[in-house]
Amino acid sequence: MTVLNLALWYGNLAALVTVLEGGVFAYLYETKTKGAWRKTQMGRHLMWFVLAPSSVLLLALIRAIFGASLDTLWFVILRLVVFTSVPVVYGQRIWIFLKVQEESDDSDQDH
């Protein structure tokens, strides 16, 4: 096995493990909280913060395995939608952080 093949194999394995861990987290988060995560902005954000990158990696793995034969309109549109979810979720993380910081700064001024 060449170094290139080993690196490709390891990269795919790491992506697969990440996808599986994301799925396990989503399952446990849903079942352990009995769906209560849906009631808060941070709960929803945490779920999407795990699922968005996991979904991107899953589609990237599928594309890596099946190659250009999947480059049909429906698959490309699916990839665009799923890949767009990551910057949206990261933007939400920034917005939540700034909101919390602003609230923290406001409470500091009250004292």
Domain residue ranges of the chain, discontinuous segments joined by +: 3-110
pLDDT-derived band at 70 (thresholds 50, 70, 90) equals: confident
Name the residue among 21, 25, 24, 11 with its Cα closest to residue 61.
11
Q: What is the pLDDT of residues 79-105, one digit of tens each?
A: 999 999 999 999 999 999 999 998 888
Element (DSSP H or E) covering residue 69: none
Instruction: Give the pLDDT of residue 91.
Output: 96
Element (DSSP H or E) covering residue 75: helix 73-110
- Between the alpha carbon of residue 2 and those of residues 5, 35, 87, the distances in Å are 5, 47, 35
pTM above 0.85, yes or no: no
